[in-house]
């Protein structure tokens, strides 16, 4: 197949879908790779690196797509970009199909075979393709660095001629991939860390990183607490009310808070009220990683920094782009693993998509194909 790597057009997006190292592996299999000039520049990857890898450099997106079988992107295409996709080609990128019904319809009308990197199933053989986890790792790491930069005190305990300085106290809400990376990073910086999650099963992981698990005792906490994708399930109003009281005391005692709680396809739960923020010590910091889906803090404004009662609240929505080189490398490895699963091996005399609808990975990630919406959840 002929793959086209396009330059991202979303403002602030600095990642690229395929790096030269990953392109080499596709080329070694007998595939072809065309790259739009400047596609990797924001990720510090020059055009010459792609040429040295054996890719064909194209002047613009239209030229890169002129003879392509499959377009590779990071961000979901805009409607205007989708209109320019050659009919009958394939597309691999984030799509967030449930949030973008107009895009799905446009891809269907263009007869594009679209595959969503945000829909990779959480199964063991798909771990190498899990772009959401890769990017969550970066977000959790960078969130703590942002907190450290904004915090008006040291992270570690220091013994100096001026006396002993106590370590900062961090509170992490949500112990998924981003939360666990935030814990690990905060501990490396010397902070005292406590973490909370509605899933009691993550207690061991939290403690293995040197943090204390904030155990909330409630009957629902011992019920089945996560869906088949590994995400926390939505809780009842009664549970959330009691959980809020529990969290209020933990947040009040923290110097910095990192929130990561999200429910796929729904608005993020508000776990930190304005009153909780006002009860925090002046100079404290909240980094809300759920800002893109509404935020876990009542004061969060997406991609803005707010200040409430001398407490700083940041709501970054694309932290992976702040580490574009490694973010691109990780995403490219995910894409490469995915492509090798859904595309036939030309070195074995075959070409094109596998069209293996019995394969859970193919079935769960395919959104549109042949002028039809294929994903069952989108056809309802």
In tens, the pLDDT along 290-299 reads 999 999 999 9
Find the catalytic residue in 42, 69, 75, 130: 130
| 222 or 378, higher pLDDT | 378
- Tally Cβ neighbours within 10 Å of residue 372: 9
Q: Report yes or no: 254 and 284 within 8 Å, Cβ to Cβ.
A: yes
Q: Above 90 in pLDDT, residue 85?
A: yes
Residues above pLDDT 90, as percent of the chain: 85
Q: Considering the chain, what is the average pLDDT of its residues?
A: 93
Phi and psi at residue 108, in whole multiples of 5°?
-65, -45
The tens digit of pLDDT for each residue in 120-129 reads 999 999 999 9
- 231 counts as catalytic: yes
- In DSSP terms, 4 is beta-bridged to 34, 71
For position 234, what pLDDT does the model report? 60
Q: Above 90 in pLDDT, residue 94?
A: yes
Q: What CA–CA distance (Å, rounded) separates 170 from 253?
A: 9
Find the catalytic residue in 34, 93, 114, 133: 133
Q: Above 50 in pLDDT, residue 222?
A: no
Q: How far apart are the first and last CA of the chain?
A: 33
If pLDDT is split at 50, 70 and 90, which confidence band does 226 have? low
- 255 counts as catalytic: no
If pLDDT is split at 50, 70 and 90, which confidence band does 147 have? very high
The phi-psi region of residue 174 (left if phi > 0; otherwise alpha if psi is between -120 and 50; otherwise beta) is left
- 333 counts as catalytic: no
Distance of CA 104 to the CA centre of its chain: 20
What DSSP line would sit under 256-287, residue for residue? EEEE----TTSPPP--B-HHHHHHSPTT-EEE
Which tokens belong to 57?
């450099």
- 303 counts as catalytic: no
Domains and CATH numbers, the chain: 2-119+344-374 (3.40.50.720), 137-322 (3.40.50.720)
For position 223, what pLDDT does the model report? 53
For position 67, what pLDDT does the model report? 87
Per-residue pLDDT, averaged over 155-176, amounts to 96
Which tokens belong to 99?
């949030």
Q: What CA–CA distance (Å, rounded) separates 281 from 231?
A: 31
Per-residue pLDDT, averaged over 22-26, amounts to 98
Which tokens belong to 150?
């904004």
Find the catalytic residue in 48, 52, 66, 127: 127
DSSP-derived 3-state class of residue 362? helix
The pTM of the whole model exceeds 0.85? yes
Residues above pLDDT 70, as percent of the chain: 94
Q: Report yes or no: 265 and 227 within 8 Å, Cβ to Cβ.
A: no
The phi-psi region of residue 101 (left if phi > 0; otherwise alpha if psi is between -120 and 50; otherwise beta) is alpha
DSSP-derived 3-state class of residue 308? strand
If pLDDT is split at 50, 70 and 90, which confidence band does 225 have? low
Q: Above 90 in pLDDT, residue 105?
A: yes
For position 241, what pLDDT does the model report? 77
The tens digit of pLDDT for each residue in 280-324 reads 999 999 999 999 999 999 999 999 999 999 999 999 999 999 999
For position 217, what pLDDT does the model report? 66
| 43 or 377, higher pLDDT | 43
The tens digit of pLDDT for each residue in 233-247 reads 566 677 777 888 899
Inter-helix orientation angle 20-28/324-342, to 10°: 20
Q: Could you identify the residue written with the tokens 């959330």?
A: 240
Q: Above 90 in pLDDT, residue 379?
A: no
> Number of C-alpha atoms within 13 angstroms, CB side, residue 228?
4
Find the catalytic residue in 169, 231, 284, 337: 231
- 238 counts as catalytic: no
For position 245, what pLDDT does the model report? 87
The tens digit of pLDDT for each residue in 28-61 reads 999 999 999 999 999 999 999 999 999 999 999 9
Find the catalytic residue in 25, 47, 118, 122: 122
Q: What CA–CA distance (Å, rounded) separates 236 from 335?
A: 37
């Amino acid at each position: 197949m002929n793959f086209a790597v396009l330059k991202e057009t979303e403002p602030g997006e600095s990642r690229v879908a395929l790096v030269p190292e990953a392109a080499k592996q596709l080329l070694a299999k007998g595939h072809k790779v065309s790259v739009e000039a400047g596609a990797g520049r924001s990720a510090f990857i020059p055009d010459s690196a792609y040429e040295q890898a054996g890719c064909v450099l194209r002047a613009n997106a239209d030229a890169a797509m002129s003879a392509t079988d499959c377009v590779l992107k990071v961000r979901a295409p805009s409607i205007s970009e989708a209109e320019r996709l050659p009919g009958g080609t394939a597309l691999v990128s984030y799509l967030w199909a449930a949030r973008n019904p107009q895009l799905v319809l446009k891809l269907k009308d263009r007869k594009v075979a679209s595959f969503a990197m945000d829909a990779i199933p959480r199964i063991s053989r798909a771990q190498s393709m899990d772009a959401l986890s890769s990017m969550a790792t970066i977000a959790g790491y960078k969130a703590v660095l942002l907190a450290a930069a904004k915090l008006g005190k040291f992270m570690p305990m220091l013994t100096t001629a001026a006396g002993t300085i106590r370590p900062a106290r961090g509170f992490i809400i949500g112990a998924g991939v981003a939360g666990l990376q935030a814990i690990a990073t905060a501990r490396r910086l010397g902070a005292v860390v406590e973490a909370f999650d509605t899933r009691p099963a993550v207690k061991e992981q939290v403690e293995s990183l040197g943090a204390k698990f904030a155990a909330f005792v409630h009957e629902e906490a011992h019920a089945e607490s996560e869906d088949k994708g590994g995400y926390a399930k939505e809780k009842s109003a009664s549970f959330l009310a009691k959980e809020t009281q529990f969290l209020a005391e933990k947040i009040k005692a923290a110097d910095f808070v990192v929130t990561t709680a999200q429910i796929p396809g729904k608005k993020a739960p508000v776990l930190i009220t304005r009153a909780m923020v006002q009860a925090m010590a002046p100079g404290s910091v909240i980094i809300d990683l759920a800002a893109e889906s509404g935020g876990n803090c009542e004061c969060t404004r997406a991609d803005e920094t707010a200040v409430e009662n001398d407490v700083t609240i940041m709501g970054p929505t694309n932290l992976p782009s702040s580490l574009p080189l490694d973010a691109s490398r990780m995403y490219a490895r995910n894409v490469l693993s995915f492509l090798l699963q859904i595309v036939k091996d030309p070195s074995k005399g075959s070409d094109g998509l596998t069209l293996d609808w019995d394969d859970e990975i193919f079935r769960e990630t395919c959104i549109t194909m042949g002028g039809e919406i294929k994903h069952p959840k989108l056809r309802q």
